[in-house]
Amino acid sequence: MKAELAAEITDVLRTVIKSPDDLISVVFHDLPADNTFRAGVPTDEALIFVHIRLGRSDEAVDRLLKAISDAWVRVTGEPDDAIELAAMQYPAKWTMRGGVRLPEPPIV
């Protein structure tokens, strides 16, 4: 399921914000059930943090988060209220891969 979800998220990032594959990483951090709470009650909901280069429109970020949420629901079978997403944007000049600053993102 993780491999399928990683492939779906990669496709979403490629399609919605035009990110090249070599800049897309999907990392899973599995936490024990007793480490996740909402409103003080244990939960097994998912949290997805999306780190992207600054410069996308609010509409593009909204489309991205909705598409990732839809992929999560499709792959896991979980309802969309069992996932929380947050997009964090960084200037490309502050982001490196392989010792090289990332290029500015495409306009979408």
Q: Where are the domains of the chain?
A: 2-99
Distance CA 54, CA 88 (A): 8
Check residue 32 and give its pLDDT. Answer: 86
Q: What is the pLDDT of residue 79?
A: 94
Would the pLDDT of 108 be above 80? no
In this prediction, residue 44 has a pLDDT band, given cuts at 50, 70 and 90, of confident
Token digits of residue 4: 């399928």
The CATH topology of domain 2-99 is Macrophage Migration Inhibitory Factor (3.30.429)
* Residue 2: per-residue pLDDT: 96
3-class secondary structure, 53: strand
For the entire predicted model, the pTM comes to 0.88
| Count of Cβ atoms closer than 10 Å to residue 45 Cβ | 13
Sign of CA dihedral 73, 78, 82, 83: negative
Please check the confidence at residue 27 and state whether its pLDDT lies above 90: yes
Contact at 8 Å (CB) between 82 and 73?
A: no
